[in-house]
């Protein structure tokens, strides 16, 4: 690849030699980027060579400028301002330079040395009760871009995905399929697996809301109705059976998650992102529960009368945080504690970056504080890369209500739009239907 400043300096050396029969050292022909208030790309200051050429500043600059303009085709024009020779390069030069850079996949990359910082970047982290949506597209592209930037700047990067494959939200889809699915599969319905499971998540919410409305008509408050609706109680019981290792529940869970994973893989491939390490919440939540119990034994956490376990963070300006429910089941923060511990044991991480929307700012404040209270030496190496959430004109997307923009649908629409626009502009002439 061409070194622009070095090439210009060598050309100026040649101009001085030809015009004034003077050999000058490279240090006297260095160029610099032109100041924004002037026209030009690079500037040569002629004052250091005036004694050699015996010319006025403007005259020397004009003579060198004319020589460069005549002998070097990439110079488009020049401008002289009080002994400063401002050179403008042709657009064709920049286009050629850009093309050469595009051919060099390693341009701008720093070599990753054995002692380079090790950084894990977690992004995507979907739930296995629904397909990826517009918000996931943004998250995946941000996470993947950050990972590639870190790689290019000499970091050892581990791109990680944490699949939220268990919990009450997963049981909702499972229960709805069990009640109303009639054995439906992606193969029997022709529906992509993650979309099929997502349909049952939406169906659960619809039936659940009907039950809540009926209980409210009987005199319950909305909160009481949401807590006592038969469907939510069934889902909670299913979660307990799952955590107890019930075979039938686990078989259903494995089958439906398998449909979702296959769907996720297709979406990731279409989007062009990848991962080096995939974690599953089902593999880490027990470790989180174990760490919470150790914290309880040490007096870091406390147990309420209903047997739920909490952390009192009020002294740190936060709130009381639930860590384990009264029935012994875990919550999101439980598995995050376990997963963080696992990652720092598996890798010598200098930094763990969570690419997660700003609605989780409080969650990561709590997580960092809990890990510090548990006295992990790496607790201050966690970074929450927060960003604004994607919302529709009518408000926040809600998968349980079906008010989302599916990632697959959006990408297909973009492909079709690009194909249509390309055809209308005549850009696809000569391409076969398959190539289009």
Beta bridge partners of 322: 310
Residue 80 is predicted with a pLDDT of 95
Give domain status of residue 334, yes or no: yes
Q: Is 126 part of any domain?
A: yes
pLDDT of residue 410: 92
pLDDT at 109: 85
Q: What is the reported pLDDT for 394?
A: 66
The answer to pTM > 0.85 is no
**Separation CA 79–CA 66 (nearest Å):** 10
Q: d(Cα 20, Cα 15) in Å, to the nearest integer?
A: 8
182 and 46 assigned to the same domain: no
Q: Specify the pLDDT at position 376.
A: 98
Do the domain assignments include residue 337? yes
The verdict on 159 and 200 lying in the same domain is no
Q: Is residue 73 located within the same domain as residue 142?
A: no
Structure confidence at residue 102 (pLDDT): 84
Q: Are strands 302-303 and 156-163 parallel, antiparallel or unpaired?
A: unpaired
Q: What is the DSSP string of 141-153?
A: HHHHHHHHHHHHT
Domain membership of residue 113 (yes or no) is no
- Gap between the Cα atoms of 83 and 62, Å rounded: 9
pLDDT of residue 419: 86
**Is the domain of 208 the same as that of 339?**
no
Q: Identify whether 109 is part of a domain.
A: no
CA separation, residue 324 to residues 280, 309, 328 (Å): 19, 5, 6
pLDDT for 408 = 94
**Max alpha carbon distance in the chain (Å)?**
104
What is the Cα Rg of the chain in Å? 32
Count: domains in the chain: 4
Residues 286 and 401 in one domain: yes
pLDDT < 70: residue spans in the chain = 1, 390-403, 435-436
Find the domain containing 418 and state its range: 406-436
Euclidean distance between CA atoms 422 and 252, whole angstroms? 46
pLDDT at 107: 80
| 119 sits in which H/E element | strand 118-122
Q: What is the pLDDT of residue 185?
A: 98
Give the rounded distance of the alpha carbon of 48 from its chain centre: 51
Asked if 298 and 410 sit in the same domain, the reply is: no
One domain for residues 253 and 399: no
């Amino acid at each position: 690849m061409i070194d622009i400043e070095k090439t210009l300096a060598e050309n100026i050396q040649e101009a001085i030699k030809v015009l004034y029969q003077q050999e000058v050292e490279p240090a006297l022909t260095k160029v610099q980027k032109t100041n924004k208030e002037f026209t030009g790309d690079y500037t040569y200051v002629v004052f250091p060579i005036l004694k050699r050429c015996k010319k006025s500043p403007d005259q020397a600059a004009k003579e060198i400028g004319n020589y460069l303009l005549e002998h070097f085709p990439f110079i488009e024009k020049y401008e002289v301002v009080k002994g400063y020779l401002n050179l403008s390069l042709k657009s064709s030069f920049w286009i050629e330079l850009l093309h050469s850079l595009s051919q060099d996949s390693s341009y701008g990359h720093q070599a990753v040395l054995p002692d380079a910082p090790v950084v894990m970047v977690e992004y995507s982290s979907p739930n296995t009760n629904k397909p990826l949506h517009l918000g996931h597209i943004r998250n995946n592209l941000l996470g993947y871009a950050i990972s590639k930037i870190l790689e290019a700047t000499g970091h050892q990067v581990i791109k990680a995905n944490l699949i939220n494959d268990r919990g009450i939200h997963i049981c909702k889809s499972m229960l709805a399929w069990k009640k109303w699915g009639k054995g439906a599969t992606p193969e029997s319905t022709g529906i992509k697996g993650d979309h099929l499971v997502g349909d049952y998540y939406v169906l659960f919410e619809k039936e659940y809301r009907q039950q809540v409305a009926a209980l409210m008509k009987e005199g319950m408050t909305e909160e009481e109705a949401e807590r006592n609706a038969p469907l939510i109680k069934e889902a909670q019981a299913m979660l307990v059976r799952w955590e107890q290792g019930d075979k039938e529940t686990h078989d259903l869970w494995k089958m439906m998650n398998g449909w979702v994973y296959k769907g996720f893989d297709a979406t990731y491939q279409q989007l062009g992102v990848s991962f080096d390490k995939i974690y599953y919440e089902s593999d880490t939540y027990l470790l989180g529960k174990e760490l919470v119990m150790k914290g309880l034994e040490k007096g870091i956490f406390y147990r309420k009368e209903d047997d739920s376990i909490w952390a009192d963070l009020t002294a740190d300006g936060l709130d009381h945080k639930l860590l384990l429910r009264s029935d012994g089941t875990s919550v999101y923060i439980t598995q995050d504690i376990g997963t963080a511990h696992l990652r720092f044991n598996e890798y010598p991480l200098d930094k763990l970056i969570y690419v997660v929307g700003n609605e989780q700012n409080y969650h990561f404040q709590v997580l960092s504080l809990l890990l510090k209270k548990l006295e992990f030496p790496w607790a201050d190496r966690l970074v929450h890369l927060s960003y604004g959430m994607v919302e529709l004109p009518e408000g926040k997307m809600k998968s349980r209500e079906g008010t989302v923009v599916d990632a697959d649908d959006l990408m297909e629409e973009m492909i079709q739009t690009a194909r249509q626009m390309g055809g209308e502009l005549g850009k696809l002439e000569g391409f076969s239907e398959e190539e289009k």
